[in-house]
């Protein structure tokens, strides 16, 4: 076969010659490589770069977002936070900018680079900040930070109070702004409504200085305005109405009630205080007259002469630390001592104690007595330094004491033969007693006793009576004490001497009097509260005869206006025998029924220190006596004297008193009191006196109904809280409020919404009570005002990126 | 220059091109995230145990009673439950010795870390009088007003965590 | 046969070229990447959120316990402040609490504290924090 001419002799696929093939291929390759190389920048640089830039933008953005979240967690209420942001100067060789902006209605953080034409967006809607951040920063600036600032300021709240709110012409009204609050220094001004005013700076360290007194010269109704302002320029005002009546017009006791919210302007979610304020008003002189029967237990248990130490009650006490009056010195004992003798004696014979301590042992007391002193003797004493202490065992005065140390003395039978004198000292030793004085009135029995506390060192007690006689010593370790019957009144001085050679001893010293004495003293104190128009009488119940089993129920004083006469009859009481309580109640009731002046409140005050033990007809059975007491009390409570019920107060005196029985006898458990000491008894009588005379309102119920706009943050301690629908009902119950007595109920709430909100429901929040003269059963109602709370954002927060 | 060679080169290069185009970026595996997580565990554990409930495993309970013989086993077992299994911890208390005014450390546990550590701290205040008598934190000298029972003592409880 | 040798050589050279380009590109990209992803973690590790919260808790809640003894309250607060500054310095931060404007009320000879202001300050290389709080005691 012949091949075509154009084909070369070689059989191959080549279309061109090797050189041209090489050139064409090179050309194609070069174009190809050029194409690839041009793509290098993009492929190897730009695309990874753009992804990297995107990642890093997101990284910086996340850093800022995370810092923003952390800031919102620790955001202060009143202060600032600055957090540094770390940004590289360039990303991908381009500088960039971070800013807070809005994109399509959503707040975002935008990291962008104009030159590179790239930007990343980090949404920040979910971060819990109430205010959206603003600002921007460039990567080339050296410092970047986010700053959060919030300054809140407590606005001043004026709370205007005055008492009494109804007053006679010319009488002073006290204007009280001390419940007002604010931040920093406060000034206030009262415009009294009659043209006059008063301005001053409020001193929180001494609030009573800011009470202002003002009186009105003409009758009528005045509105007093209180304005309070602080150093930042904010102010608030509040008013109160004063009614002025002509002089000597009758004014019944009344109750004043109002309600405040403090502060009145606040930020959302800040708690505020709601305060309900009640005050009894009126003129005390107008209060009712009373007829009081004292029913006093004069059984044997009220007197230590019959009942022993349980017949005493604490009158006064004190405590102190006794340290001995001591002289100390040392003697060195060496091997030349076959025996050691120490003698101490006083020149005028005052009692001194000698204590000697060996180098390796404790203090030991001298074993022998010598004229005016004591002596210590030991054979073969240990070598070394011996300590000699002389303690003065006398309460007052001073004495010269001689101490002699001998060696090598010896005893033969009971004679002592002196040895060689080694040392001797002569010194004055003053007494160092702790001195406590007691003022004691005339009592039947008085006891003064000293007890060591936190330790048991020996204490000696001397008592100097008002007449000057000095009795003692009484030793605490043997349990002896000073006692006297029919003690004179005056100053009793107790001297407590420490009878130990080292250290100190704390002690507790008590002055006790017989219970019957305490009863007498306090009943007479009660009588001092009575006025000429009141009546007072005394019934005593006790026993007589052998064993005291015969009842002795005496009407010592019929109802009289003459308190001096009543006091004299009280002085004449004496204690003896059993306790016929029922008979005493009956006698007192009969007297009240017979002789109470019309219009007076009949009252019985029963004082007893134990169980009733005999009946009024002489049976010695506790069970029957208790039954009789209860039934007599019941009859008394049902008895009406001039259309008034008899009030029964009972006082349990001392630990043996039967509280359950006495509470049942009293008009209600609130009318029962317990006294352990005579001081407590005194306080109780004073309290009863004040309660009887000065009550302005009784059976008071305060109801506050909160709207759903506020939430109670914690329940007040003495109130009942219940929930009705979406309203919160808080209720307090108090038994009585006296004239010039203040009651405040307060609790904390948190507002739920913003704006002007009402803190309670008008017409429902009220105070109900039985008004003076407490004879009716109709309740009077006062409606509480509705304070408004303004919840607003005063000081916006700011978040700035810079 | 055979065509096969060229085609081979082109093939390899275009593979490389597409690989890069799909942006396979190798970011360095950062240990940081793990450390952040560990620290968060530690911080949370301390916050849970720092409360006034009076339970036997709270920091308050243990630190009031700690001395050379007391072993706070309930606290340590609660900590072990709160921390993840792959960690081990060391617990120390830092405080200011009020007599020398120097910072001192009390080691509740004495473990040695075996890898990189993170720490978490919490603070609490205890009255001086609430410590047992031989507590290392107690200030024993008396002040002018008498024994210092009401001096506040600030304690930093530091938890060191590492991976095992 | 020479063609085969030449081809292998060219492929080898091309491969070498590609690999070196690859390495160059990767190292360039790698250097860019060192910064990615680490910022956020550093933030999480370093933001002193818990220190500040602990400081605030100590200043407000724990210090309130000591307000029941008005005569020694200021001394106790100063004592606590000293310890706070010392211990927080261990972490490289400055922290301090400063009590001022203590308001008291005197009822029947007994003094009680009704409110006090406290300024809490914290500062480290990253964060600066300051807050002034009015603490009311009921």
The partner residue sitting opposite C90, judged by closest CB among B27, B28, B94, is B94
Residue B72, φ and ψ in degrees, nearest 5 = -80, 65
CB contact under 8 Å between C58 and B20, yes or no, is no
Q: From CA A86, how far away is CA A98, in angstroms rounded?
A: 12
Q: List the alpha helices (DSSP H) in A528-621.
A: 563-571, 581-595
Q: From CA A607, how far away is CA A688, in angstroms rounded?
A: 13
Q: From CA A125, how far away is CA A725, in angstroms rounded?
A: 36
Residue A348, φ and ψ in degrees, nearest 5 = -100, 10
Task: Judge whether residue A64 has pLDDT over 80.
Answer: yes
Mention every residue, 6+ apart, whose C-beta is less than 8 A from residue A731: A701, A702, A703, A704, A719, A720, A721, A722
Weakest-pLDDT range from A762-766, A788-792, B68-72? A788-792
Q: Is B118 helix (H, G, I), strand (E, B) or coil?
A: strand
Q: How many CB pairs under 8 A join A and B?
A: 28
Rounded mean pLDDT, A727-743: 81
**Which class for A726: exposed (0-12), middle (13-18), buried (19 or more C-beta within 10 A)?**
exposed
Weakest-pLDDT range from A481-495, A624-638, A720-734, B128-142? B128-142
Kindly provide the b/e burial profile for residues B80-107, where b requires at least 16 CB atoms within 10 angstroms of the residue's own CB. Answer: eebbeeebbbbbbbbbbebeeeeeeeee
B28 pLDDT tier (thresholds 50, 70, 90): low
Rounded mean pLDDT, A669-690: 78
Task: Judge whether residue B147 has pLDDT over 60.
Answer: no
* Segment C82-101, tens digit of pLDDT: 999 999 998 889 999 988 77
**pLDDT score of C107:** 67
CA torsion sign for A558, A563, A569, A571 is: positive
Task: Judge whether residue B93 has pLDDT over 90.
Answer: yes
Rounded mean pLDDT, A148-164: 81
The continuous run of DSSP H or E covering A630 comes out as helix A622-638
**Which residues on neighbouring strands pair with residue A241, listed in sequence order?**
A223
Cβ of C21 under 8 Å from any chain A Cβ? Answer: yes
Q: From the CB of residue A207, how many other CB atoms can be counted at a distance below 10 Å? A: 15
- Strand A265-266 and strand A788-791: the pairing is parallel
**pLDDT score of A42:** 66
Cβ-based interface (< 8 Å): residues of A facing B: 21-22, 25-26, 28-29, 32, 36, 39, 43-44, 47-48, 51-52, 55
**pLDDT score of C27:** 66
Cβ-based interface (< 8 Å): residues of A facing C: 40, 43-45, 48-49, 52, 55-56, 59-60, 62-63, 66-67, 70, 73-74, 76-84, 86, 88, 91-92, 154, 183-184, 204-207, 748
Name the residue in chain B with its Cα closest to that of A24.
B1
**pLDDT score of A157:** 85
Cα-based distances in Å from C69 to A480, A775, B151, C109 = 41, 48, 12, 14
Task: Judge whether residue C2 has pLDDT over 60.
Answer: no
Which has the closest alpha carbon to B77: B105, B43, B37, B49?
A: B49
Kindly provide the b/e burial profile for residues A253-291, where b requires at least 16 CB atoms within 10 angstroms of the residue's own CB. Answer: bbbbbbbbbbbbbbbeeeebbbbbbbbbbbbeeebbbbb
CB contact under 8 Å between B6 and A25, yes or no, is yes
CB contact under 8 Å between C138 and A48, yes or no, is no
The continuous run of DSSP H or E covering A768 comes out as strand A766-771
Q: From CA A81, how far away is CA A31, in angstroms rounded?
A: 61
CB contacts of A66 in chain C (<8 Å) are 40, 43-44, 47
Peptide bond into A263 cis (omega under 30): yes
Q: From CA B83, how far away is CA A312, in angstroms rounded?
A: 67
**pLDDT score of A463:** 92
Separation in Å, CA of B86 to nearest CA in chain A: 27
Query: Which site among C18, C21, C26, C32 would you substitute to test the A interface, given the most A Cβ atoms closer than 10 Å to its Cβ?
Result: C32
**pLDDT score of B23:** 53
CA torsion sign for B65, B67, B72, B76 is: positive
**pLDDT score of A689:** 75
CB contacts of C28 in chain A (<8 Å) are 44-45, 48
Cβ of B33 under 8 Å from any chain A Cβ? Answer: no
Name the residue in chain C with its Cα closest to that of B35.
C45
Chain mean position to CA A29: 98
Question: A398: which 2 tokens?
Answer: 């001073």
pLDDT > 70: what percent of chain A? 93
Task: Judge whether residue C43 has pLDDT over 90.
Answer: no
Q: In what order do the strands lie in the sheet with A443-453?
A: A312-322, A505-514, A443-453, A482-487
Q: From CA A684, how far away is CA A607, in angstroms rounded?
A: 11
CB contact under 8 Å between A86 and C103, yes or no, is no
Residue B117, φ and ψ in degrees, nearest 5 = -110, 155
Mean pLDDT of chain A: 83
Name the residue in chain B with its Cα closest to that of A49.
B23
**Do A416 and A408 contact (CB within 8 A), yes or no?**
no
CB contact under 8 Å between A25 and B1, yes or no, is yes
Query: Which site among A47, A56, A62, A63 would you substitute to test the B interface, given the most B Cβ atoms closer than 10 Å to its Cβ?
Result: A47
Of A590 and A133, the structure prediction assigns the larger pLDDT to: A590
- Strand A720-724 and strand A755-758: the pairing is unpaired
Kindly provide the b/e burial profile for residues A440-471, where b requires at least 16 CB atoms within 10 angstroms of the residue's own CB. Answer: beebbbbbbbbebeeeebbbbbbbbbeeeeee
Separation in Å, CA of C131 to nearest CA in chain A: 4
Q: Is A69 helix (H, G, I), strand (E, B) or coil?
A: helix
Of A560 and A10, the structure prediction assigns the larger pLDDT to: A560
Rounded mean pLDDT, B29-39: 76
- DSSP letter string, B82-94: HS-TTEEEEEEEE
A11 pLDDT tier (thresholds 50, 70, 90): low
Weakest-pLDDT range from A187-196, A283-292, B77-86? A283-292
Weakest-pLDDT range from A78-87, A447-456, A725-734, A777-786? A777-786
* Segment B104-136, tens digit of pLDDT: 999 989 999 998 889 999 999 988 888 887 888
Q: From CA A351, how far away is CA A768, in angstroms rounded?
A: 72
- Strand A672-675 and strand A647-653: the pairing is parallel
CB contacts of C52 in chain A (<8 Å) are 74
**pLDDT score of C108:** 64
- DSSP letter string, C5-37: HHHHHHHHHHHHHHHHHHHHHHHHHHHHHTTTT
**pLDDT score of C1:** 46
CB contact under 8 Å between C33 and B28, yes or no, is yes
Q: From CA A290, how far away is CA A597, in angstroms rounded?
A: 9
CB contacts of B8 in chain C (<8 Å) are 11
Rounded mean pLDDT, A26-52: 71
**pLDDT score of A468:** 85
Q: From CA A775, how far away is CA A58, in angstroms rounded?
A: 82
- DSSP letter string, A494-525: EEEEE-SSSS-EEEEEEEEEEHHHHHHHHHHH
Task: Judge whether residue A294 has pLDDT over 80.
Answer: yes
- Segment 5-64 of chain B within 8 Å of chain C by CB: 5, 8-9, 12-13, 16, 20, 25-28, 30, 32-33, 35-36, 39, 43, 47
Of A16 and C113, the structure prediction assigns the larger pLDDT to: C113
Q: From CA A164, how far away is CA A224, in angstroms rounded?
A: 13
Domains of chain A are 33-150 (no CATH), 152-245 (2.60.40.10), 314-322+433-512 (2.60.120.380), 326-430 (2.60.120.380)
The partner residue sitting opposite B2, judged by closest CB among C7, C36, C63, is C7
Query: Which site among A14, A16, A19, A25 would you substitute to test the B interface, given the most B Cβ atoms closer than 10 Å to its Cβ?
Result: A25
**Do A581 and A549 contact (CB within 8 A), yes or no?**
no
Task: Judge whether residue C41 has pLDDT over 70.
Answer: no
Separation in Å, CA of A82 to nearest CA in chain C: 5
ipTM comes to: 0.75
CB contact under 8 Å between A81 and C128, yes or no, is yes
Q: From CA A328, how far away is CA A638, in angstroms rounded?
A: 76
Please report all neighbours of A, defined by 3+ CB atom pairs within 8 A: B, C
Of A417 and A14, the structure prediction assigns the larger pLDDT to: A417
pTM: 0.47
* Segment A607-647, tens digit of pLDDT: 888 888 888 888 888 888 888 888 988 888 888 887 777 88
CB contacts of A21 in chain B (<8 Å) are 1
The continuous run of DSSP H or E covering A215 comes out as strand A212-215
**Which residues on neighbouring strands pair with residue A506, listed in sequence order?**
A321, A453
* Segment C14-25, tens digit of pLDDT: 777 777 777 766
Task: For chain C, give the number of residues.
Answer: 138
- Segment 73-132 of chain B within 8 Å of chain C by CB: 94-96, 98, 101, 103, 118, 120-125, 127
Give A154-184 as a 3 state SS string: CCCECCCEEECCEEECCCEEEEECCCCECCC
**pLDDT score of B42:** 92
Rounded mean pLDDT, A459-488: 88
| Domain residue ranges in chain B | 30-163
Question: A323: which 2 tokens?
Answer: 């340290």
Q: In what order do the strands lie in the sheet with C127-136?
A: A118-123, A106-113, A97-103, A134-138, A798-801, A144-150, A79-85, C127-136, C110-123, C94-107
Mention every residue, 6+ apart, whose C-beta is less than 8 A from residue A34: none
């Amino acid at each position: 076969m012949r091949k075509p001419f154009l084909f070369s002799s070689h059989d191959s696929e080549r279309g061109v010659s090797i050189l041209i093939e090489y050139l064409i291929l090179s050309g194609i390759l070069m174009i190809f490589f050029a194409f690839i190389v041009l793509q290098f920048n993009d492929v190897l640089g730009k695309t990874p770069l753009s992804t990297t830039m995107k990642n890093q933008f997101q990284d910086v953005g996340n850093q800022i977002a995370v810092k923003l979240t952390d800031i919102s967690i620790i955001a202060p209420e009143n202060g600032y936070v600055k957090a540094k942001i770390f940004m590289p100067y360039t990303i991908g060789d381009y500088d960039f900018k971070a800013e807070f902006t809005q994109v399509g209605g959503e707040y975002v953080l935008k990291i962008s680079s104009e030159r590179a034409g790239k930007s990343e967006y980090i949404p920040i809607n979910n971060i819990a900040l109430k205010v959206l951040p603003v600002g921007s920063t460039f990567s080339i600036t050296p410092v970047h930070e986010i700053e959060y600032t919030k300054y809140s300021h407590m606005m001043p709240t004026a709370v205007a109070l005055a008492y009494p709110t109804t007053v006679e012409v010319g009488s002073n009204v006290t204007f009280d702004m001390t419940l007002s609050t604010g931040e920093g220094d406060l000034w206030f001004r009262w415009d009294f409504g009659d043209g006059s005013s008063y301005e001053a700076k409020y001193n929180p360290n001494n609030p009573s200085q800011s009470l202002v007194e003002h009186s009105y010269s003409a009758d009528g109704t005045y509105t007093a305005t209180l304005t309070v302002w602080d150093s930042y320029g904010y102010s608030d005002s509040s008013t109160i109405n004063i009614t002025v009546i002509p002089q000597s017009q009758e004014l019944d006791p009344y109750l004043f009630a109002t309600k405040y919210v403090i502060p009145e302007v606040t930020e959302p979610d800040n708690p505020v205080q709601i305060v309900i304020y009640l005050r009894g008003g009126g003129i005390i002189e107008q209060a009712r007259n009373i007829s009081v029967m004292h029913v006093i237990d004069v059984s044997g248990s009220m007197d230590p002469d019959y009942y022993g130490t349980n017949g005493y009650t604490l009158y006064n006490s004190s405590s102190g630390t006794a340290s001995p009056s001591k002289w100390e010195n040392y003697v060195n004992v060496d091997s030349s001592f076959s025996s050691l003798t120490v003698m101490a004696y006083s020149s005028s014979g005052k009692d001194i104690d000698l204590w000697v301590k060996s180098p390796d042992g404790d203090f030991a007391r001298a074993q022998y007595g010598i004229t005016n002193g004591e002596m210590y003797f030991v054979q073969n004493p240990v070598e070394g330094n011996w300590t000699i202490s002389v303690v003065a065992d006398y309460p007052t005065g001073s004495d010269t004491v001689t101490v002699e140390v001998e060696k090598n003395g010896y005893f033969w039978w009971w004679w002592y033969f002196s040895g060689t004198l080694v040392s001797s000292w002569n010194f004055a030793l003053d007494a160092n007693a702790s001195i406590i004085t007691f003022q004691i009135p005339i009592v039947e029995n008085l006891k003064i006793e000293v007890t060591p506390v936190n330790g048991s060192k020996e204490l000696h007690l001397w008592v100097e009576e008002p007449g000057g006689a000095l009795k003692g010593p009484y030793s605490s370790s043997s349990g002896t004490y000073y006692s006297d019957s029919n003690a004179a009144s005056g100053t009793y001085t107790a001297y407590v001497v420490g009878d130990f050679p080292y250290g100190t001893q704390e002690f507790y010293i008590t002055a006790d009097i017989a219970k019957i004495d305490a009863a007498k003293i306090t009943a007479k104190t009660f009588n001092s509260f009575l006025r000429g128009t009141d009546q007072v009488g005394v019934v005593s119940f006790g026993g007589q005869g052998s064993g005291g089993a015969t009842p002795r129920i005496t009407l010592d004083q019929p109802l009289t206006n003459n308190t001096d006469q009543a006091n004299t009859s009280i002085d004449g009481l004496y204690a003896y025998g059993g306790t016929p309580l029922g008979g005493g109640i009956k006698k007192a009731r009969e007297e009240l029924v017979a002789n109470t002046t019309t219009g007076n409140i009949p009252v019985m005050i029963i004082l007893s220190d134990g169980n009733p033990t005999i009946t009024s007809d002489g049976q010695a059975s506790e069970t029957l006596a208790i039954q009789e007491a209860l039934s007599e009390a019941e009859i008394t409570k049902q008895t009406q004297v001039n259309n008034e019920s008899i009030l029964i107060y009972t006082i349990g005196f001392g630990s043996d008193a039967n509280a359950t029985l006495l509470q049942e006898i009293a008009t209600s458990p609130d009318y029962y009191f317990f006294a352990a000491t005579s001081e407590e008894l005194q306080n109780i009588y004073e309290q009863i006196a004040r309660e009887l005379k000065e009550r302005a309102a009784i059976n008071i119920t305060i109801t506050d109904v909160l709207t759903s706009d506020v939430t109670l943050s914690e329940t007040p301690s003495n109130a009942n809280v219940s929930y009705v629908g979406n309203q919160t009902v808080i209720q307090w119950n108090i038994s009585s409020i006296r004239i010039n007595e203040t009651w405040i109920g307060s609790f904390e709430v948190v507002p739920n919404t913003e704006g002007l909100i009402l803190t309670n429901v008008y017409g429902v929040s009220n105070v109900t009570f039985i008004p003076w003269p407490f004879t009716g059963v109709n309740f009077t109602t006062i409606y509480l005002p509705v304070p408004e709370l303004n919840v607003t954002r005063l000081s916006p927060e700011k978040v700035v990126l810079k | 220059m055979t065509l096969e060679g060229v085609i081979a080169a082109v093939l390899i290069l275009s593979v490389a091109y597409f690989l890069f185009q799909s942006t396979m970026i190798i970011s360095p595996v950062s240990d940081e995230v793990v450390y952040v997580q560990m620290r968060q565990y530690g911080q949370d554990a301390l916050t849970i145990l720092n409360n006034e409930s009076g339970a036997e495993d709270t920091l308050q309970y243990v630190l009031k009673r700690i001395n050379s013989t007391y072993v706070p086993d309930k606290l340590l077992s609660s900590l072990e439950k709160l921390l993840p299994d792959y960690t081990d911890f060391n617990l120390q208390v830092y405080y200011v010795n009020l007599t020398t005014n120097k910072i001192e450390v009390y080691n509740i546990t004495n473990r040695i870390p075996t890898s990189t550590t993170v720490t978490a701290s919490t603070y609490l205040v205890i009255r001086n009088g609430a410590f047992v008598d031989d507590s290392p934190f107690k200030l024993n000298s008396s002040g002018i007003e008498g024994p210092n029972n009401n001096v506040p003592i600030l304690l930093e409880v530091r938890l060191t965590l590492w991976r095992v | 046969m020479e063609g085969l040798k030449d081809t292998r050589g060219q492929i080898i050279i091309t491969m070498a070229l590609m690999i070196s380009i690859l390495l160059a590109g990767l190292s360039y990209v790698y250097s860019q990447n060192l910064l990615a992803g680490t910022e956020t973690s550093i933030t999480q590790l370093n933001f002193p959120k818990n220190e500040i919260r602990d400081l605030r808790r100590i200043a407000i809640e724990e210090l309130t316990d000591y307000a029941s003894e008005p005569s020694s309250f200021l001394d106790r607060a100063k004592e606590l402040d000293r310890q706070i500054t010392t211990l927080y310095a261990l972490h490289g931060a400055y922290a301090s609490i400063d009590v001022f404007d203590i308001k008291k009320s005197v009822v029947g000879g007994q003094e009680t504290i009704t409110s006090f202001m406290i300024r809490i300050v914290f500062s480290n290389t990253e964060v600066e924090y300051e807050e002034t709080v009015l603490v009311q005691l009921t």
